[in-house]
Amino acid sequence: MGLTSNKVLALAVVVAVVFFAATVWLWPRLARGGWKAVVGRIGMLLVTQLALFASLGLAANKSFLFYGSWADLFGQEQELGVVVDHSAGSRDVQVVGTQALDVPGGGRPSVGGQIQKVVIAGEKSGIDSPAYVYLPPEYFQGRYAKSTFPASVVLTGYPGTAENLLKGLKYPRTAYQQAKDKKMQPMILVMLRPTVAPPRDTECVDVPGGPQTETFFAEDLPKAISQTYRVGTQARNWGFMGNSTGGYCALKIVLHHPDRFAAGAGFSAYYKAADDVTTGDLFHGDKAAKNRADLLWSLDHTPPRNTSFLVTSSRQGEGNLKGTKEFIRKVKAPARVSSIMLDSGGHNFNTWNREIPPGLVWMAGRLSAS
């Protein structure tokens, strides 16, 4: 029986009820003195509480889909996803710190590359946001001194932190290793969270009278980075990727700004802007803006451009499977769409760490350095 199945949840609830009833029934017998009775009471209480916690945990997991299978829960799902193609020096960036990669010889940028902690000031949006920029070793090597590099924006989910992209999801180390193994070209990564106006979840839209988040990501960020680092300014030089909310943002920005970005990858993305207490009123009654934030609607009403999309889901454990299949179906030429479909995997770091390595290779293959 699967981790998210109704049978497992029902069995856990039945077990919890049985242990609770047994505790009530046997308590008078265990009320006597002596160490055996004391141990019995402790044991019954402990087992009953564990059964109750297991039931609550299974119910929460079934609702929010943190883990898709028992192997996923215990970290045993390690097989990488497979990409399946479904179609033929700026003042706006201030470096505030640097750190080396934890790789052999990583203390030397020309060997291990470098991660720079920066603050990006949005010229048009007025938004300032911290970020991390990963520069590959080649960026510091003499033979590449006059070369430009492709770049990709990388976003976390909401309300994640940018540090998750370095530590939990290991983007810089993975990009370093994939390039070292000759699976992808060296690529610059600009890593941050989508919450550029914390604590509000703006879903990467320009909120009327509020944060101009889409403008920041689509216009300010690539311009500032290209003025600071050796990154081209054409759409073919830029990609956008992320998980969960970050994945939704990546797909939406690329869909609506094909003149700025050539490729977008959404790991466990959803396809319609959230509307809850964390977002507030994003559209102020503007139906056109709300429809535009619905990616499936936009695919039906926006002329296709020469862009590439990568979407991911799991046949067991993810809540976006239906939407992902619909997204794939709606992408029309000359746009291209690829997917990673895992057999099982929940909405969690373990799943994304299986998708990110092939996802980075896919992204680097869709971008040009010059």
pLDDT at 350: 92
Which of these ranges, 181-185, 192-196, 297-301, 359-363, has the smallest mean pLDDT? 192-196
155 Cβ partners below 8 Å, 6+ apart?
Answer: 191, 192, 193, 194, 240, 241, 242, 243, 245, 246, 247, 249, 250
| Environment class of 152 (CB within 10 Å of its CB; exposed 0-12, middle 13-18, buried 19+) | buried
Assign domain 83-366 to its CATH superfamily. Answer: Alpha/Beta hydrolase fold, catalytic domain (3.40.50.1820)
Q: What is the pTM of this model?
A: 0.82
- Copy the structure tokens of residue 142: 């003499």
Domain ranges of the chain: 6-64, 83-366
Amino acid found at 266: G
CB distance 261 to 242 below 8 Å: no
Which of these ranges, 82-91, 119-128, 351-360, has the smallest mean pLDDT? 82-91
pLDDT at 66: 65
pLDDT higher than threshold 80 for residue 34: no
pLDDT higher than threshold 70 for residue 85: no
CB distance 145 to 365 below 8 Å: no
pLDDT at 49: 86
Cα(148)–Cα(138) distance, rounded to whole angstroms? 10
Summarize pLDDT for 164-223 with one digit per residue, the tens: 999 899 999 999 999 999 999 999 999 999 988 888 899 999 999 999 999 999 999 999
Cα(270)–Cα(246) distance, rounded to whole angstroms? 9
Summarize pLDDT for 229-266 with one digit per residue, the tens: 999 999 999 999 999 999 999 999 999 999 999 999 99
Q: Supply the Cα-derived Rg of the chain in whole angstroms.
A: 24
Ordered alpha helix ranges (H), 163-294: 163-166, 171-180, 213-215, 221-228, 245-256, 287-292
Sheet with 93-99: list strands edge to edge: 83-85, 336-342, 308-314, 263-267, 238-243, 151-155, 188-192, 128-135, 114-121, 93-99
Pairing of strands 308-314, 336-342: parallel
CB distance 87 to 339 below 8 Å: no
Q: Does residue 333 sit in helix, strand or coil?
A: coil
- Copy the structure tokens of residue 54: 């297991």
Summarize pLDDT for 304-348 with one digit per residue, the tens: 999 999 999 999 999 999 999 999 999 999 999 999 999 999 999
DSSP state of 122: P
pLDDT at 82: 58
CB distance 164 to 243 below 8 Å: no
